[in-house]
Amino acid sequence: MAGVRSRAAAGHRPLPDASRQRRITRMRPGAGAPTEGLWGIAAETPVEINLNARPLAVMMATPADVEDLALGFALSETILTDAGAVRGFEVQVLPEGVVVDLTADADAIVESRIRPRFLEGMSGCGLCGVERLADVIRDVRPGANDAAEIPAEAILRAFDALPELQTLNRATRSVHAAAWAAPDGEIALVREDVGRHNALDKLIGARAREGAAGPGFVVMSSRCSFELVQKAAVAGIGLIATVSAPTELALELARASGLRVASLDRDALIEFE
């Protein structure tokens, strides 16, 4: 998988910038006259994900690391069973958005997972485009057990390191990050996006493209919602640590999959049973 290359379609345009500076007026009551300056605004672009030229989804996403997003989405939504079956990526930048065509061996594709419900997904949630209630919550398998012994100190170390590695968020203050940390808390890989589930898909896809393996955990700048737990469980992740607390449904799914969930409470770590 690590040797698979992405290629741009003939006559392609470059990917849009992930952020763009805009002029702002900053007003502080009681601090004198307003001041002018510049502020980074995160891009939110339609990204069409295709598999062997068949449409899977149109996601509103940050137009960066789009190959990682396409692969991570196909894997975490259980459409593609093996990242090693991927043969290539083609990226087209059109006036209306970005198209990523993922090519993979047919025997690694779960045809029943390619349904109309995947045609639309917004950056803010993981449900847009779902046709039936039965499609919302999928069966989750037991997650990896290699995170069982990771100590609180390592998780807090990763939380401390994450803000400095969120380069796009430092410019915009409006995007989420998903990072992979080693068992000692050292962060090895970071992906950012306007959508928290997109950020996690990008991370899953990036690790799959690199052929990364070994113990570790995911740390995220968002709350822990149920779709993050589903995606993490499918990817074999044993621990997800988020800045904000999880929802009840996220915890129920985490219990079912054996996935550890932790979050911050100021300078302390909370782990949920």
Q: Which residues are catalytic?
A: 125
Q: Please report where in the chains the tokens 């939110």 appear, as a residue.
A: 44
The number of angstroms, rounded, from the C-alpha of 88 to the middle of its chain's C-alpha atoms is 20
Burial of 259 (0-12, 13-18, 19+ CB in 10 A): buried
Q: Which residues of 135-159 are buried (b: 16+ CB within 10 A; e: fewer)?
A: eeeeebeebbebbeebeeebbbbbb
- Alpha-carbon distance of 37 to 177, in angstroms, equals 26
Q: What residue type is 23 in one-letter code?
A: R
**82 C-beta neighbours (distance < 10 Å), count:** 14
- Alpha-carbon distance of 59 to 48, in angstroms, equals 6
Question: What stretch of H or E contains 170?
Answer: helix 167-172
- Alpha-carbon distance of 108 to 147, in angstroms, equals 28
Query: Dihedral angle at the C-alpha atoms of 191, 196, 201, 207, nearest 10 degrees?
Result: 30
**71 C-beta neighbours (distance < 10 Å), count:** 29
- Alpha-carbon distance of 6 to 102, in angstroms, equals 9
